[in-house]
Structure 1
Amino acid sequence: MMDGVRSAGGTAMCSPDQETAVQLLHSILQPGDVVLVKASRGAQFQQLADALLNSAADRPQTGGVCGRG
């Protein structure tokens, strides 16, 4: 999946844990950026997605915010 993102001109990263991922993303995300959180339910990455959505809700938006689907 990472190779596909990169070949399409996107940026893909790995993180050792969710806390590090949230900190990293908060430091680099800009309005209009899109984040794909892809994992099994067993990895409980919905917590990561929720943390990002909650922090996005606290910031001024220029567009919409998509939730889990």
Structure 2
Amino acid sequence: MTAMPEVLREDTLNIPDSRGLNLYTCDPALERLLEVYLPPALLAEWRPLLERLGARAGGELDVLALAA
């Protein structure tokens, strides 16, 4: 995991963030949309990658976004 940057101060802690969320699994609408547009076999093949990317977006990328 990535350490929290020093830039996070007390006055920035009230900003909602997605730290710790898997942005793929917490969006059921995205899953339903993918089920409409992708063949089941392709979605099954891509699901592990989407889960890893969703975790990364709610983890290290969220930390970097707050530091920007």
TM-score, length basis structure 1: 0.25
If asked which structure has higher relative contact order (CA below 8 Å, sep 6+), I would say 2
Flag the structure with higher helix content.
2
